[in-house]
Amino acid sequence: MGLSLQNVDKIVGRQIHLKDINIEFENGTRNIILGRTLSGKTSLLRIMAGLDKPTQGKILIDGEDFTGVSVRKRNIAMVYQQFINYPSLTVYNNIASPLKMSGVGKQEIDRRVRETAEMLRIEKLLDRLPAELSGGQQQRTAIARALVKETRLLLLDEPLVNLDYKLREELRTELQEIFSRREAIVVYTTTEPTEALMLGGNIVVIDEGRVLQTGTTPNVYHHPATLKVAEVFSDPPINYLHGVADDRCVHFGENIQVPLSAHFQNLPAGKYIIGIRSNHLFLSRRDSGDTEFKARVELSEINGSETFTHMNHGDAPLVVQDDGIYPHKIGAEISVFVNPRAMFIYDENGALVASPGTGR
């Protein structure tokens, strides 16, 4: 059964924090909530935790109505962005605190604390105080404290955002392994599409308090139902150009013409928005089927092994992500190549009409 939110709204004063939220999470699944800052992720998490009550709607856990139940009565654990630990307790006591409060026996506490500490690789730090630890170690302690309870619901609110880039990478891999061994429902919020992709599982894309799309993470990535989902779920942001289709071709941008083919063979005539991911635009021809067009270079960002070329095609800004080093001069007019098979076609309102067949 798992966790289920039905028609949940959260309205504070005149501000809509959440609207029409309908979500189902199965037990033992990993669920990512992806959205920009202020999109409602934290509000949603707090309602799941029981820290806030929805203005309307129900929250069911395994079929039982838990909507008004206070957080203490729910079987949940939560990890925050800001490495929250009891500052006067040692790491050992921090991790043991939830067990002590629920009256678990001393020996059992010891066993579970050590087991969890080892999982998070902090078994050597059990005697230290949080103030003596680095950021990464503090957050591991907070995560250990959340995990040791073996709760039904594990909520993490952007837990890695205050950590170093490399540390984030490492912890993410470790967390994936830890999550896969648990029965709990894991809910993890983030603003970063790359993090969402790395963690996998299921995803809920949220924007301005509404759920835009749900599904398995790779699936939603490869088939974003609306242009907004594609924008939120891409890094660098997806490129899009306006165009029209007649009975033979799609015309978009400045005189770019692509004959109707592949997944948009039967596209009805009309106005459309063409979405192309940055890594599907290239600075050299890869395939005879590629379409070529010109754009003006605004900026080249070189990443060591790949180049992000920021360009303008007419008025539209584009970002081309290419393997290799391409230090182009600002103002240069160069050719950009795209394979029509990689194009996402959206209607005027941003709803998906045709998407490439890839995606596992």
Partner 1 sequence: MEKWESNKAWFLVLPVFVIVAFSAIIPLMTVVNYSVQDIFGPGQRIFVGTEFFKSVLSDSRLHEALWRQFIFSGLVLLIEIPLGVLIALAMPKKGGWVSVNLVTLALPLLIPWNVIGTIWIIFTRPDIGLFGAAINGLGVAFDHTAKPLDAWITVMLMEIWHWTPLVVLLAYAGLRSIPEAYYQAAKIDGASAWAIFRYIQLPKMRGVLTIAVLLRFMDSFLIYAEPFVLTGGGPGNSTTFLSIYLVKIAVGQFDLGPAAAFSIIYFLIILLFSFLFYQALQNVGKGEKV
Partner 2 sequence: MAKIELHNIAHSYLSNPKNESDYALKRIQYEWEDGGAYALLGPSGCGKTTLLNIISGLLIPSEGQVLYNGREVTALPPDKRNIAQVFQFPVLYDTMSVFDNLAFPLRNRGVRETDVRIRVLEVAEILDLTPFLQKKAAGLTADAKQKISLGRGLVRSDVAAILFDEPLTVIDPHLKWHLRRKLKEIHDQLRLTLIYVTHDQVEAMTFAEKVMVMYEGELVQIGTPQDLFETPQHKFVGYFIGSPGMNFLECTLHGNIARVNGTEIQLEEKTAALGGNAKGKLELGIRPMYLEVHDKAVAGGIPVTIKTIEDQGSFRIITLLLADTILRAKLPEDKPIPDKHAWVRFPPEKTRLFAGARLIR
Q: Which residues bind partner 1 (CB under 8 A)?
A: 53, 68-70
331 binds, among partner 1, partner 2, none (CB under 5 to 8 A by kind): none
Say whether residue 221 binds partner 2 (CB under 8 A). yes
Name the residue nearer to partner 2 (CB basis): 222 or 294.
Answer: 222
303 binds, among partner 2, partner 1, none (CB under 5 to 8 A by kind): partner 2
Name the residue nearer to partner 2 (CB basis): 14 or 329.
Answer: 329
Instruction: For residue 17, report the phi and psi dihedrals to the nearest 5 degrees.
Output: -85, -40
Name the residue nearer to partner 2 (CB basis): 185 or 220.
Answer: 220
**Segment contacting partner 2 by CB under 8 A, of 89-97, 124-132, 195-203, 256-264:** 195-203
69 binds, among partner 1, partner 2, none (CB under 5 to 8 A by kind): partner 1
Name the residue nearer to partner 1 (CB basis): 73 or 285.
Answer: 73
Residue pair 277/234 in contact by the 8 Å Cβ criterion: yes
Instruction: Give residue for tokens 């798992």.
Output: 2
Say whether residue 215 binds partner 2 (CB under 8 A). no
**Segment contacting partner 2 by CB under 8 A, of 74-82, 104-112, 119-127, 274-282:** 274-282
Name the residue nearer to partner 1 (CB basis): 72 or 166.
Answer: 72
Say whether residue 191 binds partner 2 (CB under 8 A). yes
Determine the residue type at 215: G
CB of residue 334 to partner 2, shortest distance in Å: 17
Say whether residue 292 binds partner 2 (CB under 8 A). no
164 binds, among partner 2, partner 1, none (CB under 5 to 8 A by kind): partner 2
Say whether residue 197 binds partner 2 (CB under 8 A). yes
Say whether residue 201 binds partner 2 (CB under 8 A). no
141 binds, among partner 1, partner 2, none (CB under 5 to 8 A by kind): none
Beta bridge partners of 4: 24, 60
70 binds, among partner 2, partner 1, none (CB under 5 to 8 A by kind): partner 1
Say whether residue 181 binds partner 2 (CB under 8 A). no
What is each CA distance from 89 to 93, 122, 124, 157, in whole angstroms?
6, 15, 16, 23
Residue pair 336/295 in contact by the 8 Å Cβ criterion: yes
**Segment contacting partner 2 by CB under 8 A, of 3-11, 110-118, 129-137, 145-153:** 129-137
Say whether residue 218 binds partner 2 (CB under 8 A). yes
What is each CA distance from 336 to 209, 313, 322, 333, in whole angstroms?
37, 10, 11, 10
**Where on the chain is the footprint of partner 2 (CB under 8 A)?**
36-37, 134-136, 164-167, 169, 191-194, 197-198, 200, 217-218, 221, 231-232, 234-237, 277-279, 298-299, 301-305, 308, 310, 319, 321, 323, 325, 330, 358, 360
